[in-house]
Structure 1
Amino acid sequence: MCGNDTSHGDPNLNPIDDSPPKLIRTVENGSLYTVGSGEDQFWLVHVWGNTGYDYGFAYGTLLKEQIIQLQPIAWAHFEQQIMDELDKLKLPKWFEEIVASKGLAFALDFQNTLVEGYIDKEIYEEIRGIADAANIDYRAIRRLHMLGEITRGRCSLYGLWGNSTLGGKTLQLRALDWDTKGGLQDFPVVTIYHPRSPKLGHAFANVAWAGYIGTLTGMSSTQMGISEIGIYFSDDTFGDESMSGLPFIFVERYILQFSETLDDALSFIADVRRTCHLVLAVGDGKLGTARMIQYSHSRVNFFDDQNLQPVADWHPRIPNAVYCGMDWLCPSHQYRLYQQIIYQYGQITPESSIRNITSVAKTGDLHVGVYDLTDSILYVANARGTNETGPLEAYQRQFVKIDLNIEFARKQSSMK
């Protein structure tokens, strides 16, 4: 089982920043804004397109400087970390041997050959557009998008609806507990995608970092949200893992980009060729509910508040709620998240969740997204960047409120 930290964190009493985005500049098919203020400001990018390449070229043009700075820092850090901790990552022995003998770059390029048949070609075109616009190596960007299958992260999530929330709103949490030493939080980006072709689905918001187009955190214009936890401490209810399939960051992105309803998302998860051990959550503000999914290459199980797993005294079921704290077999974190949900059960709002759930449960060190799926409002906080002050963990920092009704409807400005 995972660690036994039973301590509670302090409430997050920072005011939520609800100031409007500030336009910086525009290019063909793209607009760059900043949102938030002071040290907790981040980039808000809008891209429009008929193709993935349109998206990528606009994105890469607007964020060229940030991408060029982040890529070598992030790569050097994760390469060193993975090489140092290779025996702890629970990878197939044959893949470990490739990493050890040929290096991480070679291994990730090989991994790409195993998954490329499952990835939408428009994703590769988007990466190519970024590489061309920013004048950096296409393969280098692609490699960073393969890292999630190896590192995964330990995270937390919930889906709340009906009697569990104030006014019966549908709320969702995505707390990303990943590496805060790789420089990612120096370049936080929320990207709003505006398709001009049906093949690109519908509008959605992706919370990530400069140059990263996979989805770990985000909401869609169809009032849906996605959350994920990488599972290291599993049990025999999980199935096998595989290095061949659709990487989970693109499973999550597909759901935001193409699913109209919760049923669409669950059907896609059931049918897609899955890879590693995960727990996912999908919320639907239209239906007013959420589901948690136990996920592996060979097995998938769907949970609501009536059949939520794992069954344990440290993971009690809660009416109108699904939740998972940090890992599958993780008693202290699971129970701490349970306590904070129960503490304000029936009165939970995004603001109270920010104040008393993630901060007290101590989850979401790299970034936190709280989704109001009923009203299409996104709340985001990022970890302390280099040379910034205050708490390191995102859950203790200022959150920024983004009204996605406005952002999804935004038209491109003519400013250059």
Structure 2
Amino acid sequence: MFVNSVYFCFIIGLLILVQTSYSYDTDHLTNLGAFCSNDSSLGPPNLNPIDDSSAKLIRTIENGSLYTIGAGDDKVWLLHLWGYNGYDYGFAYGTLLKEQITQLIPRAWAHFEQRIIDELDKLKLPKWFEDMVVGKGLAFALDFQNTIVEKYIDKEIYEEMRGIADAANVNYYSIRRLHMLGEITRGRCSLFGLWGNATMGGKTLQLRALDWDTKGGLQDFPVITIYHPRSEKLGHAFANVAWAGYIGTLTGMSSTQMGISEIGIYFSDDTFGDESMSGLPFIFVERHILQYSETLDDALSFIANVKRTCHLVLAVADGKLGTARMIQYSHSLVNFFDDQNLQPLAEWHPRLPNAIYCGMDWLCPSRQYKLYKQILSQYGHITPESSIQNITSIAKTGDLHVALYDLTDMIMYVSNARGTNETGPLEAYQRQFVKIDLNIEFARTHAFFK
């Protein structure tokens, strides 16, 4: 105990020294990162109480149950699916959320189609793909993209999409196109993985802050889906945080105490490799990790060997091992980082013991430094609650949704952006969070099979 106390005091002293060494004016940071969408201003703390109310059952059908969790404007659909195959999952999904799916798809498609056309020159896409969008339309281009990647995608994913389409009576190709958009739009986001002396009680915590488009209406239909496989080919139970009809993974936790985070990288450097549109789309790389990886090593091995596509930063944390890794990710290159070799190593992105983190982009000095400063201010006693109150809100990250994972106790905290006709702040990081006890949710049994 004495040795641990001495070590902890040494770390705190080191961090105070680091904080003093890197305490410089924000104008310097803005000049350093003029190429990135820098914002050195700080937001207010999020003082909203966390909603820890129990889920409320709405409806049960074969292979599915629909609940709500949370209250008022911050209520979320909580969907439980059971199945022997992807079609079982999808048909139950489409049946229980038909109304939400049929509203979301045309609305989101219209918005993202126009946005992509308007910003085509900013999206880092191959010239041939840009020409295809301009000449043939976005729908044609995404269908062509699917022909390139379909050999890498698990057939059960397509079957799940077909099940949704059949049950909700929506066009299958519209659902499939929606899932191709992630490779194009990506999103600027933030993440961290913290463990050991960085956190209160040595818990393993992970942040996934999604700074994506809040004008597409996605936040009107937030869904947390809990998958319960009845066949080994579907892996193990996991939770996916998304929107009605969206089955790719951007945010989530698994029953094996693992979490995933992702950042789309626009401002890279020469340490990144090449990009390609041929490979497994990253939303299904992330889903595979949650659905099939038992350990951190499983996840890292899959990332190392999968056919990768675009420039990303990923993070995977494992509550069983009590650690996390950050991954520099491209088609031709992958690098794995822990707290000892974290990159980019710069005055605006220092290393911290028992921590990996990345704010908004790879080369984005003021946003990176702002996240670092907030982690440092809470270092040694960080909890999900303190992260919600004093890290994401003050660093202003997580416009569309924010998730905090307690991978030790299997608790997830989620907030969503303000929806249409709702009140309060727009950004998810300033809104009320809902607490989901995944010990309870993963253990739920279907009423038809008790």
Bin for the TM-score computed over the shorter chain:
over 0.9
Partner of 2:96 in structure 1? 62
Q: Tell whether the 8 Å contact from 1:391 to 1:397 is kept in structure 2 after alignment.
A: yes
Give 2:107's match in structure 1, choosing from 60, 67, 73. 73
State how far apart, in whole Å, the 2-side matches of 1:211 and 1:172 are: 25
Partner of 2:24 in structure 1? none
State how far apart, in whole Å, the 1-side matches of 2:228 and 2:39 are: 43
Partner of 2:402 in structure 1? 368
Does 2:350 correspond to 1:316?
yes
Does 2:177 correspond to 1:140?
no
Give runs of aligned pairs for residues 167-182 of structure 1, distance below 5 A.
167-182=201-216
Partner of 2:68 in structure 1? 34
State how far apart, in whole Å, the 2-side matches of 1:378 and 1:3 are: 29
Does 2:232 correspond to 1:193?
no
SS of the residue 1:357 aligns to = helix
Deviations 1:157-183 (A, max 9, x none): 000000000000000000000000000
Partner of 1:154 in structure 2? 188
Partner of 2:306 in structure 1? 272
Partner of 2:3 in structure 1? none
SS of the residue 2:435 aligns to = strand
Question: Which amino acid in the other structure matches residue 224 of structure 2?
Answer: V
Deviations 1:65-117 (A, max 9, x none): 00000000000000000001101101000100000100000000000000000
TM (norm. structure 2) is 0.92
Shift of 1:414: 5.2
Give 1:95's match in structure 2, choosing from 115, 119, 129. 129
Shift of 1:265: 0.1
State how far apart, in whole Å, the 2-side matches of 1:384 and 1:413 are: 34
Q: Tell whether the 8 Å contact from 2:50 to 2:435 is kept in structure 1 after alignment.
A: yes
State how far apart, in whole Å, the 1-side matches of 2:40 and 2:208 are: 21
Which runs of structure 1 show a deviation greater than 6 angstroms over 4 or more consecutive aligned residues? none
Does 2:426 correspond to 1:392?
yes
State how far apart, in whole Å, the 2-side matches of 1:249 and 1:269 are: 12
Deviations 1:230-273 (A, max 9, x none): 00000000000000000000000000000000000000000000
SS of the residue 2:223 aligns to = strand
Shift of 1:189: 0.1
Question: Which amino acid in the other structure matches residue 391 of structure 1?
Answer: P
Partner of 2:31 in structure 1? none
Partner of 1:300 in structure 2? 334
Deviations 1:155-214 (A, max 9, x none): 000000000000000000000000000000000000000000000000000000000000
Contiguous gaps of at least 5 residues in structure 2: 1-34
Does 2:252 correspond to 1:224?
no
Give runs of aligned pairs for residues 91-130 of structure 1, distance below 5 A.
91-130=125-164
- The percentage of counterpart residues that share the same residue type is 84
Q: Tell whether the 8 Å contact from 2:319 to 2:407 is kept in structure 1 after alignment.
A: yes
Partner of 1:343 in structure 2? 377
Question: Which amino acid in the other structure matches residue 156 of structure 1?
Answer: S
Shift of 1:412: 1.4
State how far apart, in whole Å, the 1-side matches of 2:193 and 2:59 are: 36
SS of the residue 2:54 aligns to = coil
State how far apart, in whole Å, the 1-side matches of 2:208 and 2:39 are: 20
Q: Tell whether the 8 Å contact from 1:3 to 1:332 is kept in structure 2 after alignment.
A: no
Shift of 1:5: 1.4
SS of the residue 1:290 aligns to = strand
Shift of 1:4: 2.7
Equivalent residue pairs, number: 415
State how far apart, in whole Å, the 2-side matches of 1:353 and 1:257 are: 27
Shift of 1:413: 2.9
State how far apart, in whole Å, the 2-side matches of 1:353 and 1:56 are: 34
State how far apart, in whole Å, the 2-side matches of 1:148 and 1:118 are: 16
State how far apart, in whole Å, the 2-side matches of 1:134 and 1:3 are: 39
SS of the residue 1:286 aligns to = coil
State how far apart, in whole Å, the 2-side matches of 1:360 and 1:79 are: 32
Determine which structure has more spread, i.e. the larger CA radius of gyration. Answer: 2
State how far apart, in whole Å, the 2-side matches of 1:124 and 1:14 are: 40
Q: Tell whether the 8 Å contact from 1:362 to 1:395 is kept in structure 2 after alignment.
A: yes
Q: Tell whether the 8 Å contact from 1:367 to 1:382 is kept in structure 2 after alignment.
A: yes
Question: Which amino acid in the other structure matches residue 328 of structure 2?
Answer: Q
TM (norm. structure 1) is 0.99
Give runs of aligned pairs for residues 187-266 of structure 1, distance below 5 A.
187-266=221-300
SS of the residue 2:53 aligns to = coil
Question: Which amino acid in the other structure matches residue 247 of structure 1?
Answer: P
State how far apart, in whole Å, the 2-side matches of 1:364 and 1:95 are: 29
SS of the residue 2:447 aligns to = coil
Question: Which amino acid in the other structure matches residue 48 of structure 1?
Answer: W
Q: Tell whether the 8 Å contact from 2:62 to 2:448 is kept in structure 1 after alignment.
A: no
State how far apart, in whole Å, the 2-side matches of 1:400 and 1:384 are: 14
Contiguous gaps of at least 5 residues in structure 1: none
Q: Tell whether the 8 Å contact from 2:227 to 2:238 is kept in structure 1 after alignment.
A: yes
Shift of 1:312: 0.4
Deviations 1:215-241 (A, max 9, x none): 000000000000000000000000000
Measured on the aligned residues, the alpha-carbon RMSD in Å equals 0.7
Give 1:14's match in structure 2, choosing from 48, 51, 54. 48
State how far apart, in whole Å, the 1-side matches of 2:414 and 2:378 are: 21
Partner of 2:317 in structure 1? 283
